[in-house]
């Protein structure tokens, strides 16, 4: 009898200890989960109406809305990249916008440059280069000089004008800016082929490569973020925006044997010269034909990063190398 009671008590104690251990593990797991949840991942704000170049994007179509949301999510959560684009946009748009207006190109096309390069002079795997990402042959076709010494794909003003010429030529074919943007990505020949085979001239109803199908949605998403950054969690004060640095222009119609020596004549470094003139691709400039080039030099005192520079009006421009 006693043995039975003893065994019963032992069993009760073991059972109690088991549940105490289990409860402790559950509590510890809850604490672990709480500690691991260190941020909230929220769905970005999706406007009721989104336009591109004055035309409303048909978000009422499920596939269009989902494609747009994909790009909005992607770019909202590319925190570092999107934040840097917001910081540099003022500098680049101050050059791009007047050229677009001069050519009667919708201002929204400036966001195409953001989609292409993040407003940086980059080189793609296909060897497209500069902010507007021109291939070598395409750049030459649209009037850009591309040599070992000079590559005007890196000249923001001239490359923007070349992009405008491309846009105008494409618009003559399609009369639709979404297709113009798609043609910039896929090429005019491909867009014509899609139109003929698919019997539609509506970008939002067209089957293309994944990159081309995402392209206009990416541009529209970037437009939303850059025009309303606080709606997407990006908060920048005036001092956070990269200021526009006033420059002076020096005209040159001869060869320059040493760009370093040339830079020192204006009390700047070779590095700063290349920062402001990324289209100069060598350590010298060969100019046997006597062509006139315009080299920009930052005005004295404006390369110092201080509050005076931040308060300056938009009286010049700066292009990062």
User: Can you give the pLDDT of all 321 residues of the chain as single tens digits?
Assistant: 555 555 565 556 666 555 555 555 544 555 555 556 667 788 999 999 999 999 999 999 999 999 999 999 999 999 999 999 999 999 999 999 999 999 999 999 999 999 999 999 999 999 999 999 999 999 999 999 999 999 999 999 999 999 999 999 999 999 999 999 999 999 999 999 999 999 999 999 999 999 999 999 999 999 999 999 999 999 998 889 998 899 999 999 999 999 999 999 999 999 999 999 999 999 999 999 999 999 999 998 776 665 445 555 444 444 443
- Residue 193 within any structural domain of the chain: yes
Considering the domain architecture, whether residues 121 and 222 belong to the same structural domain is answered as: yes
Considering the domain architecture, whether residues 251 and 109 belong to the same structural domain is answered as: no
First-last CA distance in the chain: 92
- 48 near 194, Cβ under 8 Å? no
Considering the domain architecture, whether residues 269 and 205 belong to the same structural domain is answered as: no
Provide CB contacts within 8 A for 316, sequence distance 6+.
Answer: 244, 245, 246, 247, 299, 302
CA 150, CA 143: separation in Å to the nearest integer?
13
- Residue 44 within any structural domain of the chain: no
* Buried-exposed string 278-289: b where 16+ CB fall within 10 A, e elsewhere: bbbbeeebebee
Q: Which domain holds residue 248?
A: 243-311
Backbone angles phi, psi at 134, to 5 degrees: -85, 135
Considering the domain architecture, whether residues 219 and 184 belong to the same structural domain is answered as: yes
């Amino acid at each position: 009898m006693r043995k039975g009671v003893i065994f019963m008590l032992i069993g009760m104690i073991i059972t109690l200890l088991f549940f105490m251990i289990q409860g402790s593990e559950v509590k510890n797991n809850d604490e672990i989960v709480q500690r691991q949840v260190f941020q909230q991942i929220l769905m970005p704000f999706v406007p009721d109406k989104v336009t591109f170049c004055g035309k409303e994007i048909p978000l009422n179509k499920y596939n269009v809305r989902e494609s747009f949301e994909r790009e909005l999510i992607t770019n909202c959560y590319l925190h570092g990249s999107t934040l840097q684009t917001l910081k540099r946009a003022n500098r680049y748009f101050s050059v791009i916008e007047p050229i677009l207006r001069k050519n009667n190109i919708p201002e929204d096309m400036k966001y195409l440059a953001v989609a292409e390069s993040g407003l940086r002079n980059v080189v793609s795997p296909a060897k497209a280069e500069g902010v507007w990402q021109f291939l070598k042959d395409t750049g030459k076709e649209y009037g850009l000089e591309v040599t070992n010494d000079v590559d005007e794909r890196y000249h923001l003003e001239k490359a923007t004008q070349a992009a405008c010429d491309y846009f105008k030529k494409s618009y003559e074919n399609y009369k639709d800016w979404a297709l113009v943007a798609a043609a910039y990505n896929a090429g005019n020949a491909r867009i014509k082929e899609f139109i003929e085979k698919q019997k539609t001239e509506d970008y939002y109803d067209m089957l293309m490569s994944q990159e081309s199908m995402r392209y206009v949605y990416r541009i529209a998403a970037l437009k939303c973020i850059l025009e309303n950054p606080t709606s997407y969690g990006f908060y920048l004060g005036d001092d956070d925006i990269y200021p526009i640095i006033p420059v002076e222009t020096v005209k040159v119609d001869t060869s320059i044997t040493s760009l370093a020596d040339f830079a020192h004549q204006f009390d700047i470094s070779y590095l700063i010269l290349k920062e402001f003139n990324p289209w100069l691709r060598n350590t010298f400039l060969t100019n046997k034909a006597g062509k006139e080039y315009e080299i920009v030099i930052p005005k004295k005192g404006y390369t110092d990063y201080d509050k005076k520079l931040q308060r300056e009006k938009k009286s010049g421009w700066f292009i990062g190398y």
